[in-house]
């Protein structure tokens, strides 16, 4: 008889063991020649050498499955042990899976263009109205790259521009003043990475969320860097951001040119960058429209109504 210890890395042991240790009990029944015990993220195996080799390989496959899909069923475990393709593996075009196991994938032609552009070029500009999935899809691509160890960290940023309120009048310290502006980024991450794991990654600075001003002076290597709401940058700010790019880094810049909150007569840095960088090799531009909106169906109607009104107002002037 031999004994081995397996350490579960990067996954939640509670999810791995299943509700009431159901997955663990299933492993015990599938490998009757082994004594299997678990405490924390350590699985202790004792028994037959041949079964030991088989279960080691399958536990690693189960760990990778859970890391990729954020869920695992008893049916998945049986398929893995039998060497079959799981139902989740059979689904094509998925970027990542949400913490509930829902597949995150492109849902329109332009969203797929964003996915393809990210794979082809190191810098991508994605523009379009609210609800087209620019930010969410960009973060999904970043999470996938991090999980697959293509990069070492994710850096997310937004300009802290007021849309009606003044920062100085908001309660709390600087972090508490700025966090509301960054909340959409937190929301997307919390949908794709389990809470405990996300907190750990943020504490270790594997995932960083910061206002644009905090980017100055940095060189960003081995990272996926996303600048959200870039229409609210000045030309100087967006140039500063884009020139932070280091080795093995990809950047995605998202924005909506119809929702600029800059002071009157201040040019949008995103608008300027789209003109200046057009035609530069290695940079992709993806323009989304109301057909790409994936929120409530009323959002599409609202965007159309505002566009029609703005066009009519322009014609009258």
Query: How do residues 301-311 score in pLDDT, each as one tens digit?
Result: 787 788 777 77
pLDDT at 164: 39
What are the angstrom distances between the C-alpha of 2 and each of 50, 53, 188, 198, 215? 10, 11, 45, 36, 53
Q: Is residue 289 scored above 90 in pLDDT?
A: no
Tokens of 296: 């409530």
pLDDT at 163: 40
List the beta bridge partners of residue 45.
4, 36
pLDDT at 92: 82
Q: Could you read off the pLDDT of 27-51 as tens digits, one per residue? A: 999 999 899 999 999 999 998 888 8
pLDDT at 209: 86
Q: Is residue 296 scored above 60 in pLDDT?
A: yes
Tokens of 172: 């709390």
Q: Could you read off the pLDDT of 209-236 as tens digits, one per residue? A: 888 888 888 889 999 999 999 999 999 9
Local confidence band at 250 (pLDDT 50, 70, 90 cut-offs): very high
The stretches of the chain forming alpha helices (DSSP H) are 13-17, 22-30, 49-69, 74-81, 87-90, 109-120, 134-147, 174-192, 195-203, 235-242, 269-276, 297-316
Q: Are 112 and 140 in contact (CB under 8 A)?
A: no
Q: What pTM was estimated for this model as a whole?
A: 0.75
Mean pLDDT, residues 43-60: 90
The span from the CA of 30 to the CA of 85, in Å, is 18
Q: What is the mean pLDDT of the chain?
A: 87
Q: Could you read off the pLDDT of 126-177 as tens digits, one per residue? A: 999 888 889 999 999 999 999 989 999 999 998 876 443 444 554 555 556 5
pLDDT at 90: 78
More confident call, 179 vs 22 = 22
More confident call, 67 vs 273 = 273
Q: Could you read off the pLDDT of 106-130 as tens digits, one per residue? A: 988 999 999 999 999 999 999 998 8
More confident call, 179 vs 156 = 156
The span from the CA of 283 to the CA of 277, in Å, is 8
The span from the CA of 36 to the CA of 44, in Å, is 6
């Amino acid at each position: 008889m031999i004994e081995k210890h397996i350490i579960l890395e990067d996954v939640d042991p509670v999810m791995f063991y299943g509700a009431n240790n159901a997955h663990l009990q299933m492993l015990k029944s599938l490998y009757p020649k082994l004594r299997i015990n678990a405490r924390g993220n350590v699985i202790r195996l004792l028994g037959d050498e041949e079964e030991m080799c088989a279960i080691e390989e399958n536990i690693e496959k189960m760990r990778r499955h859970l890391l990729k899909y954020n869920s695992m069923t008893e049916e998945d475990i049986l398929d893995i042990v039998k060497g079959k393709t799981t139902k989740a593996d059979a689904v094509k075009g998925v970027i990542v899976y949400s913490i509930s196991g829902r597949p995150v994938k492109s849902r329109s032609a332009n969203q797929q263009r964003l996915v393809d552009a990210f794979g082809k070029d190191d810098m991508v500009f994605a523009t379009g109205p609210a609800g087209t999935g620019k930010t969410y899809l960009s973060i999904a691509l970043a999470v996938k790259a991090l999980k697959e160890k293509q990069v070492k960290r994710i850096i997310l940023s937004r300009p802290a521009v007021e849309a009606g309120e003044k920062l100085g009048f908001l309660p709390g310290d600087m972090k508490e003043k700025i966090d509301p502006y960054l909340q959409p980024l937190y929301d997307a991450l919390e949908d794709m990475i389990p809470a405990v794991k996300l907190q750990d990654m943020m504490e270790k600075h594997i995932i960083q969320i910061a206002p644009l001003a905090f980017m100055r002076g940095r060189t960003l290597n081995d990272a996926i860097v996303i600048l959200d709401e870039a229409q609210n940058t000045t030309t100087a700010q967006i140039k500063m951001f884009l020139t932070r790019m280091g080795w093995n880094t990809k950047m995605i810049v998202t924005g909506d040119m119809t929702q600029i909150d800059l002071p009157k007569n201040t040019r949008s840095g995103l608008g300027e960058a789209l003109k200046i960088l057009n035609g530069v090799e290695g940079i992709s531009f993806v323009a989304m429209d109301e057909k790409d909106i994936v929120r409530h169906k009323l959002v599409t109607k609202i965007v159309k109504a505002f566009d029609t009104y703005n066009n009519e107002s322009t014609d009258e002037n």
